[in-house]
Amino acid sequence: MSGKKIAKEQPDQFEFSLDNKKIIEKLLLKYPEDRKKSAVMPLLYLAQRQNNNWIPLAALRLISNILNMPYIKVYEVATFYTMYNLSPVGKYFVQVCTTTPCMIKGSGKIVDMCKKHISSKQGELNKELNSSWTEVECLGACVNAPMMQINDQYYEDLNESIAEKIFLSFKNNQLPKFGSQIGRVSSEPTNNRKTLNRNA
Ligand code: FES
């Protein structure tokens, strides 16, 4: 059983919006009649988008009905993948990568800043109720480690003080520019070298 946090307070019902119903109709056309269950991940994603970035259990029940699959199967998918939130997250939702390359480059200090400026425990909303954080596995931007994702954007080449500044900006309802925080273009070398040079 997953250790994912499930919200204690749950709405009784969940309905997809009209726009999302139209998207689901189109989406289901992509799958053969006996493979509709494969749409479970995009449907979970739509439910999460519609509901302030978290999925209530009522939405899992609805998806199991739409796809005609057992509720427990939908539950298993939703609890397996870290990208699905089953309890409310902040308007600023921080996911700190703590896998080896980021860890070696200091992700522990970014986690310390999360504990200091957001909440002492991951998965808990801060007292202003506008941000929360969690640790995640590799987000595929190891060359710019350490990094974190805030909502849909990557913040890379972090250090303790840069992370602190970003978290403090939440209080003013602001987010700094995403991408490399040291001005690096993509993942070019930090010394600005553009070609391989044996003698360099
Ligand atoms: S290890 Fe952090 S992005 Fe890959």
pLDDT at 132: 96
pLDDT of residue 1: 44
pLDDT (0 to 100) of residue 197: 67
Q: What is the CATH number of the domain that holds 156?
A: 3.40.30.10
Q: Do residues 100 and 148 share a domain? A: yes
Is the peptide bond between 42 and the residue preceding it cis, with omega within 30 degrees of 0?
A: no
Question: Is 135 in the same domain as 176?
Answer: yes
Same domain, residue pair 61 and 117: no
Ligand 1 centroid vs 98 CA: distance in angstroms?
Answer: 7
Number of the ligand 1 atom closest to the C-alpha atom of 99: 1
- What is the bridge-based pairing of β-strands 148-150 and 153-156? antiparallel
Q: Do 160 and 110 sit in the same domain of this protein?
A: yes
Helix (H/G/I), strand (E/B), else coil: 13: coil
Q: Which residue ranges in the chain fall short of pLDDT 70?
A: 1-3, 197-200
Answer yes or no: do 126 and 149 share one domain.
yes
**Residue of 82, 147, 148, 154 best suited for mutating to test ligand 1, as the one with most atoms within 8 Å of CB:** 147
Residue range 73-92, pLDDT digits in tens: 999 999 999 899 999 999 99
> Is the CB of 143 within 6 Å of ligand 1?
no
Contact 98, 108 (CB under 8 A): yes
State the residue for tokens 């005609």.
68
Answer whether 119 contacts ligand 1 (Cβ < 6 A). no
What does pTM read for this prediction? Answer: 0.88
The reply to whether 85 falls in a domain is no
Residue 75 domain boundaries: 18-80
Q: Both 176 and 96 in a single domain?
A: yes
